[in-house]
Structure 1
Amino acid sequence: MRTTVFVVEEPGGDFVQTEVELDDPREDEVLVRVVATGLCHTDLTVPTMLPPEMLPTVVGHEGTGVVERVGAAVSGIEVGDHVVMSFRSCRSCGPCTAGDVGYCEQSLLLNYMGMRADGSTTMSRTGADGQQQTVFGSFFGQSSFARHAIAYADNCVVVDKSLDLTRLAPFACGYQTGAGTVLNVLDPAPDEPLVVFGAGAVGLAAVAAARGRGVETVVVVDPAAPRRAVAEGYGATALDPTEPGAAPVEERVREATGGGAAYAIDTTALPAVVLQAQHALRSRGLLVALGLGAAEYTIDAIDLLQSGKVVRSSIEGEADPLVTIPELIALREAGKLDVDHLVATYPFEKIADAVADSKAGAVVKPVLVWGE
């Protein structure tokens, strides 16, 4: 079928609207008419890393929509279902069978290589020379910067049709990662302070989950005043790391938390900030680094060895989308995960504005929406 997508034509290039031919769904695939897709930092970062031979490509991995066709081998999903599309996993390797689907042995192939597991691609278009050109996709098993997406039973979460798919899109990755890290990795007690570096969607979802969980002291560090204001709305202490004449950030965090945070989350992927996060911890504190970007971090080994601190990462907040997304939506419905106000919607054709506003810190979570 013919459909509209937004492609990246060259490494680090802009998103360009174009028409492609999308395959019919195979027996294990699901065709989804996309309603809304969250714009995530990963959608901006990954295309800058791709070699030219993997372009043009369609990204987008926080898609929601309505199922239009279902392959014969798919169970549990029906035409007309509303779904949230998240990351893929094989569901059969060692990590998957142990419940650690974020660490699937086939994750790179299923989520990042631009093709199906058998090496075939789902999209093509007619090039300027009149020849058929491969368009890479299958990003997180969806490539949902598109009017239609091919997805799978392992990454489609069926949701109640009464829920607003525009508000649910960020649960596919950003909210799942931030809130999942708090709930699945940290599991903080009310008296265990948390500091979050970076008040984007991931960071603020972590704040929302912590506050909903009853954590009494939450500190947020971000240079963007609008995002600090949102953090303060949750009852967090918000610090500007660029404030002239202020004490070093780690000292200010230690003061705000009564000697250091029990837990820290970094969403910035900035090496200097990760080091600040380590120094902001109390003895035996835990830092979880979530940001994607820098190839290397600097860790203070002396501080680490003398304090018993732990520095680790987490993929998608240790979540299984088929389990975690319904759990988080239930918390939202119960008023214990207050995230709806983080969304700013844009028509898909305004994707450049969404990118610019996100980079400037003017909005927290851009969500791209298709018109009728």
Structure 2
Amino acid sequence: MKVTAAIINEANKNYQLEALTLGELYSDEVVVKMVASGICQSDEVVRTGKSSITPLPAVMGHEGAGVIEKVGSAVKDLNVGDQVVMAYNYCGACPSCRTGHPSSCSQWTTLNLSGARPDGSHIFFKADGTPVSSFFAQSSFATYTITNVNNLIKVEPEVDLRLVGPLGCGLLTGFGTVVNGLQPKTSSSIVVFGTGGVGLGALMAANIEGCSTIIAVDIHDSRLEIARELGATHTINSSTEHLGERIAKITGSLGVNYSIDTTGISSVMKASIDVLAIAGVSAPVAISKDSIAFNTFKDLSLTNRKLIGVLMGDAVPQITIPQLIRYHNEGKFPFDKLVKFYKFNDINQAAADSTNGQTIKPIVIMDENYRKEEPIGI
């Protein structure tokens, strides 16, 4: 099958739309006709060369939504025509998977970041036969793709696929980091550093979980305004305000019970620890080459603080994504306020708008005929 895909051929270069060929469909896989995909900063760190987690050339995209076009011979409970959201792949057989923590799958890196299937085979090929890496076993920046059944979450026919792709990564990560990772107590305090898709997903989750003090920190006033709309009780522009003094004033000099860093910037990650109260917990979740230095006794042990790792929100996508759709329908998770839609051939503009802060969550539309009678303003 011939497809059109947005390829990264070299680090720090723009996406190029190219004609590719899909490879063999395995028995536990499906072909998905893509409708839309969110752009996540994980895509951008690979494109810009800040991370080499997946070999190039590659078809990126891991917040996809589409319609099943073909199913493999071993696929059960999914059929041609089903609407699906796509998340990450996992083996389903290791101890982590079998105890409900598939994001801790022992094969997670191989399945999602190696660019190929575990047997080394590829999904995409150029006209000359050159293999092209996949990403998160879905590569949603394409008109059609092949993905594993473990990546898929079936959604109801009335769900608008143009909107829900970002639930597969950024919003899943933010929500799950709060609910599954930090597990905040009712009436506790939390600070979220960075109000992109992950940060605002975390902020909305903190509101759902009953945190009474929810602080959003960013350098973009426009994003902080949205944070207030979504439930932030306080906002701090760290480029114009003194972070430590503001948080001390807000918390009565006690510090916050929980913090999340979504920026990956060394000084911000350190600040997310420094602002913690006694017995506070911090979760850094950004993909970053940066590191931090801290004194384990002074910064952690002396005050009983904890620093935890949370991948993909420690969430089971097949459970959490339908839950997020329900929350959205109930007005509790209004992530539609974060999105802006772009045509597929404007993907480089979408990526640029995300990087410069103009758009919180860009969504590129591959199938403009999907629900054509319901325009979305692209």
Q: 1-side partners of 2:353 and 2:293: how far apart?
A: 30
One-letter identity of the residue aligned with 1:252: R
1:113 is matched with which residue? Answer: 114
- Summarize deviations over 1:340-367 as a string: whole Å, max 9, x none: 1111111111111111111111111111
Counterpart contact for 1:85–1:142, Cα < 8 Å? yes
Gaps in structure 1 of 5+ consecutive residues: none
Counterpart contact for 1:172–1:325, Cα < 8 Å? yes
Query: Cα 1:335–1:221, aligned 2, differ >3 Å: closer, same or farther?
Result: same
Q: Does 2:250 correspond to 1:256?
A: yes
1:50 is matched with which residue? Answer: 52
Q: Does 2:195 correspond to 1:194?
A: no
1:176 is matched with which residue? Answer: 172
C-alpha deviation, 1:299, in angstroms:
2.6
One-letter identity of the residue aligned with 2:97: C
Q: Does 2:301 correspond to 1:305?
A: yes
Counterpart contact for 2:111–2:117, Cα < 8 Å? yes
2:21 is matched with which residue? Answer: 21
Q: 2-side partners of 1:147 and 1:119: how far apart?
A: 23
One-letter identity of the residue aligned with 1:260: G
Counterpart contact for 1:32–1:66, Cα < 8 Å? yes
Q: 1-side partners of 2:300 and 2:206: how far apart?
A: 25
Counterpart contact for 2:265–2:290, Cα < 8 Å? no
Q: 1-side partners of 2:7 and 2:220: how far apart?
A: 29
Q: Does 2:270 correspond to 1:286?
A: no
Q: Secondary structure at the match of 2:136?
A: helix
1:339 is matched with which residue? Answer: 335
Counterpart contact for 1:254–1:281, Cα < 8 Å? no
1:241 is matched with which residue? Answer: 238
Q: 1-side partners of 2:293 and 2:229: how far apart?
A: 32
Q: Does 2:136 correspond to 1:135?
A: no
C-alpha deviation, 1:312, in angstroms:
1.3
Q: 2-side partners of 1:238 and 1:352: how far apart?
A: 31
C-alpha deviation, 1:295, in angstroms:
4.2
The match for 2:291 among 287, 296, 306 is 296
Q: Secondary structure at the match of 1:132?
A: coil
C-alpha deviation, 1:300, in angstroms:
4.1
Structure 1 residue ranges, 4+ long, deviating more than 4 angstroms after superposition: none
C-alpha deviation, 1:284, in angstroms:
0.5
Q: 1-side partners of 2:325 and 2:24: how far apart?
A: 31
Q: 1-side partners of 2:167 and 2:52: how far apart?
A: 26
Q: 2-side partners of 1:305 and 1:282: how far apart?
A: 12
Counterpart contact for 1:251–1:280, Cα < 8 Å? no
Pairing of 1:145-156 with structure 2 (within 5 A): 145-156=141-152
C-alpha deviation, 1:110, in angstroms:
0.6
1:354 is matched with which residue? Answer: 350
C-alpha deviation, 1:142, in angstroms:
0.6
Query: Cα 1:51–1:282, aligned 2, differ >3 Å: closer, same or farther?
Result: closer
**Worse overlay, 185-194 or 274-283:** 185-194
Q: 2-side partners of 1:303 and 1:20: how far apart?
A: 51
How many residues align structurally? 363
Q: 2-side partners of 1:181 and 1:148: how far apart?
A: 31
Q: 2-side partners of 1:91 and 1:254: how far apart?
A: 45
Counterpart contact for 1:224–1:361, Cα < 8 Å? yes
Q: 2-side partners of 1:262 and 1:144: how far apart?
A: 37
One-letter identity of the residue aligned with 1:13: K
Q: 1-side partners of 2:261 and 2:16: how far apart?
A: 31
C-alpha deviation, 1:318, in angstroms:
0.7
Counterpart contact for 2:53–2:114, Cα < 8 Å? no
Pairing of 1:36-115 with structure 2 (within 5 A): 36-47=36-47, 48=49, 49-50=51-52, 54-115=55-116
Q: 1-side partners of 2:231 and 2:331: how far apart?
A: 15
Q: 2-side partners of 1:90 and 1:6: how far apart?
A: 27
- Summarize deviations over 1:279-328 as a string: whole Å, max 9, x none: 11100000011011124222343132221111111001110111111222
Q: Does 2:314 correspond to 1:318?
A: yes
Q: Secondary structure at the match of 1:35?
A: strand
C-alpha deviation, 1:86, in angstroms:
0.3
C-alpha deviation, 1:157, in angstroms:
0.2
TM-score under structure 1 length normalisation: 0.94
Q: 2-side partners of 1:344 and 1:231: how far apart?
A: 16
- Summarize deviations over 1:157-191 as a string: whole Å, max 9, x none: 00011011122111000110001111112222331
How large is the Cα RMSD of the aligned pairs?
Answer: 1.5
Q: Secondary structure at the match of 1:141?
A: coil
Q: 2-side partners of 1:303 and 1:82: how far apart?
A: 47
One-letter identity of the residue aligned with 2:177: T
Q: Percent identity?
A: 35
**Worse overlay, 326-335 or 35-44:** 326-335
Counterpart contact for 1:250–1:277, Cα < 8 Å? no
C-alpha deviation, 1:133, in angstroms:
1.7
The match for 2:220 among 215, 218, 224 is 224
Counterpart contact for 1:213–1:336, Cα < 8 Å? no
